Amino acid sequence: MIARARLPRDRERDLQKATSELLLALADDDFVLGFADSEWTGIAPHLEEDVAMSSMAQDELGHAAAYYGLLADLSAGDPDRIAYDRPADAFRHCRLVDHGRGDWARTMARRWLYDSANAVRLEVLAGSANRPLADLVVKVRREETYHLLHGEAWLERLARHDGEPRRRLAEALELVGPDAPSVLAPLPSEALLVDAGIQPLPGAELLTRWSARIEPVLGRLGLDLPAAAPAALDPRTARSGHGAAFTWLWTEFSSVRALDPRATW
Amino acid sequence: MTGAGGPPAAEVVAAVRAVLAGIADPEIPAISIVDLGIVRDVTLARGRLEVELLPTFIGCPALDLIRATVAEQLEPIRANPDSGIEQVAVTISFTEPWTAERISDTGRAALRASGFAPPEAGPKLLSLAAPATCPYCGSRRTVLENAFGPTRCRSIHYCTACRQPFEQFKDG
């Protein structure tokens, strides 16, 4: 039997599903990281940092809300329902942001790894064939500039202070480093997204660009980033199989919604 | 064209713009939302008036308040049957990013008068590195204390000339 050529309508549907997958990954990454980082509000090492961390967490939630909005436009859904009414295992954030916030060094190491990888991803998505996504990303990138400067300043500060700061930073990189590539790992439907120009470059290319960007910084500071965990690069595992830290966070951020689904503020 | 006998659409849009020019930013009431540059466009077509807003920062919590205020302030115009407006839509747009360059000269003067340094002009990374101009004494001998301030659009600075802490309106 001769294989039937795929109808344009099938392709349209597949493409919409792939686009939703990309938007959900972008949204869930920022949403989960935003909530994890917001735990520092009130208890950051000093007041200025408390304000900075809270501001960045607020940015991430704002970015997530905007991505959920695009996703809702595609599916005629409600952004709040997508954000708050899903079971924990339906979240598609990457392994890097699945870790608990840990100590300050871990939070800073994770922020720098995430911000540097996210910058590479957003740079490429600014040229997306999906116009609403490309427009939004132009704005997101302008805000993320502040985050990247902040993360690099802290990486440098911790790395250049021998003893406890540097030791804690090294431990943090050892723990979360293997999962860092999960931010850029290929999505299951990547081929379709790249073909349609919605994600103009594949994950493998993003990972190469990211390495070229961070290696000089790590080299200058004499820091080691462990090799990628196989699960962090595999499209089937990079964004699923969440751990206990996320189950706890999910219970926290969905608790108000669980108490009163109509609550607003 | 609007309803028979009503004023032409351009006149209605001008009236709407005049109302918007009188709406203050809720976080810095010294400046109007028009001078702040967050009103991208006002259009009236087929009875639908659309006011398109550009957020200074995506996660700005004042956006809902600004949208509600705009709708409320435009209600008298909408309620006038001659306006030809059946529906008012206040939308948030990312068609182009809000940047510091959108703040008008009047807006910059209003910020300075209320103790805020307006954002420096020019490419963003250079403007981040450049010292802010103190809104009190005009000195550029100032240091950045924190790129993150009390709201998303404000950073905190210190003037070593007149020894005043001050805030700058940040480039988005």
Q: What is the ipTM of this complex?
A: 0.85
By DSSP bridging, strand B48-53 and strand B87-92 are parallel
Give the per-residue pLDDT at B150.
86
Q: Which of B58, B145, B149 is closest, CB to CB, to A139?
A: B58
Number of inter-chain CB pairs under 8 A, A vs B:
68
Which residues 132-161 of B are in CB contact (within 8 Å) with A?
A: 145-150, 152, 156
- Interchain contact A135–B (C-beta under 8 A): yes
Which two tokens mark B75? 């209600």
Say yes or no: B85 and B151 in one domain. Answer: no
Say yes or no: B43 and B76 in one domain. Answer: yes
Task: Reply yes or no on whether the pLDDT at A265 is more than 70.
Answer: no
What average pLDDT does range A130-137 have in this prediction? 98
CATH number at residue B54: 3.30.300.130
Please report residues of B whose CB lies closer than 8 A to that of A51: 146, 148-150
Give the per-residue pLDDT at A81.
92
Cα separation, B110 vs B32, whole angstroms: 9
Cβ atoms B153, B31 nearer than 8 A:
no
Please report residues of B whose CB lies closer than 8 A to that of A135: 94-96
Among chain A residues, CA nearest to B151: A55
Nearest CA to CA, how far is B146 from chain A (Å)? 7
By DSSP bridging, strand B116-117 and strand B87-92 are unpaired
Cα separation, A163 vs B13, whole angstroms: 65
In chain A, the percentage of residues whose pLDDT exceeds 70 is 97
Per-residue pLDDT reduced to its tens digit, A8-41: 888 899 999 999 999 999 999 999 999 999 999 9
- Interchain contact A138–B (C-beta under 8 A): yes
Asked if residue B23 is part of any domain, the answer here is: yes
Please report residues of B whose CB lies closer than 8 A to that of A54: 148
Secondary-structure class of domain A16-259 per CATH: mainly alpha
- Interchain contact A51–B (C-beta under 8 A): yes
Give the per-residue pLDDT at B2.
44
Task: Reply yes or no on whether the pLDDT at B35 is more than 90.
Answer: yes
Asked if residue B132 is part of any domain, the answer here is: yes
- Interchain contact A142–B (C-beta under 8 A): yes
Strand partners, B32: B24
Per the structure, the count of domains in chain B is 2
Which two tokens mark B147? 């790129």
Asked if residue B137 is part of any domain, the answer here is: yes
Domain boundary among B92, B107, B141: B92
Query: Which of A56, A139, A144 is the mutation pick for testing B, counting most B CBs within 10 A?
Result: A139
Domain boundary among B59, B92, B125: B92
Q: Which position has the higher pLDDT, B14 or B120?
A: B14
Among chain A residues, CA nearest to B100: A142
Asked if residue B25 is part of any domain, the answer here is: yes
Asked if residue B126 is part of any domain, the answer here is: yes
- Interchain contact A58–B (C-beta under 8 A): yes
> Which domain does B165 fall in, by range?
116-169
Cα separation, B156 vs B166, whole angstroms: 6
- Average pLDDT along chain B: 90
Length of chain A: 265
Say yes or no: B85 and B121 in one domain. Answer: no
Cα separation, B143 vs B155, whole angstroms: 11
Give the per-residue pLDDT at A237.
97
With 0-12 CB in 10 A as exposed, 13-18 as middle and 19+ as buried, what is A187?
buried
Give the per-residue pLDDT at A4.
58
Asked if residue B3 is part of any domain, the answer here is: no
- Interchain contact B97–A (C-beta under 8 A): yes
